[in-house]
Homo-oligomer: A and B are copies of this chain.
């Protein structure tokens, strides 16, 4: 019925190869593993037979025996966010080259889903975990308790109290720069869509914003700090409030929330950037395509992913800071009649 008999039985084992060759599984294992303690002839014979029989190694068995796997788990809030999918891309890039595969979990910003994902990864005895926690996530202690001794690299959204490698953006410096830019463009009442204060990244951005104001002699006004989820809808609401509050600019700690704010401004007939300046955060693809194009504090997600992967591979436990880069586009650039 079936021409290539070997391929059909599907699950060829090293024992099958061994018996076919009249040798033992150990030798086959060694030959296939590139162990030098095996005759050149034998190795060739084994390799040929393996190919002929369509052998594919069973990494499950191999992992069990070796007590380790070549899978790295990546846990992110949502994979369809460009920022995160690029982080994943960068990490995968480095990890694949090092012989690792990647198991991706998304938490959809749910703390319970995060716990479940971490537990699942632990149960697979993954070699390590790269984590960016859900916005309202549990404490660092809890993560550590689930993960036990599994190596952990945190990125972007990190628990500062949790030991181990961390890759973070230069949030404070970046927000400082973004806010200074708005000031230098002669905006004077600058509010901020600050994000969730449960996450260190947003705390730092707020700090940078505040620092910029104060260094320019502008008093910090908590009434125009909008602590919100950084999605389009909440950005829209913050935009409305900022208008009410007499703001003429907003620094948003997110990109989609900046978009929402611009929705509100357009709706109210307020011109951007002439009457109102907006700078967002994260260089999502749409930011350069919308009208007015959105000035934004670009992160380097691909590099962040690469850095996280390298930190895992190196077993590092330090904190690496990835610079941010202010990309000035239309939404914050007043015409030059200064």
| Chain A positions near chain B (C-beta within 8 angstroms) | 7-8, 10, 54, 56-61, 63-64, 69, 71, 78-80, 82, 85-86, 88-89, 92, 101-106, 119-120, 122-125, 145, 148-149, 259, 285-286, 289-291
Cα–Cα, bound, A64→B124 (Å): 12
- With contact pairs A123-B57, A148-B10, A290-B291 given, residues A92 and B64 touching in the complex (Cβ less than 8 Å): no
Copies in the complex: 2
Assess whether A61 is in contact with B58, with CB atoms less than 8 Å apart. Answer: no
Assess whether B101 is in contact with A148, with CB atoms less than 8 Å apart. Answer: no
Assess whether A120 is in contact with B103, with CB atoms less than 8 Å apart. Answer: no
Assess whether B79 is in contact with A88, with CB atoms less than 8 Å apart. Answer: yes
The distance from the CB of A127 to the nearest CB of chain B, in whole angstroms, is 12
Assess whether B101 is in contact with A120, with CB atoms less than 8 Å apart. Answer: yes
Most chain B C-beta atoms within 10 Å of own C-beta, residue among A78, A101, A145:
A101
Assess whether A86 is in contact with B80, with CB atoms less than 8 Å apart. Answer: yes
Cα–Cα, bound, A305→B246 (Å): 46
Contacts of A125 in B (CB 8 A): 58-60
- Closest 9 pairs between A and B when the two form their complex, measured CB to CB: A291-B291, A80-B85, A286-B286, A289-B290, A10-B148, A104-B104, A59-B123, A286-B289, A10-B149
Cα–Cα, bound, A92→B80 (Å): 12
Contacts of A289 in B (CB 8 A): 259, 286, 289-290
Closest to A122 in B: B56
Q: CB < 8 Å: which of B63, B148, B286 contacts A285?
A: B286
Cα–Cα, bound, A59→B57 (Å): 18
Contacts of A63 in B (CB 8 A): 60
- With contact pairs A10-B149, A291-B291 given, residues A104 and B102 touching in the complex (Cβ less than 8 Å): yes
Closest to A92 in B: B106
The distance from the CB of A79 to the nearest CB of chain B, in whole angstroms, is 5
12 A-B contacts (beta carbon < 8 Å): A54-B148, A58-B125, A60-B124, A78-B89, A79-B89, A80-B89, A92-B106, A101-B124, A102-B104, A103-B104, A285-B285, A291-B291
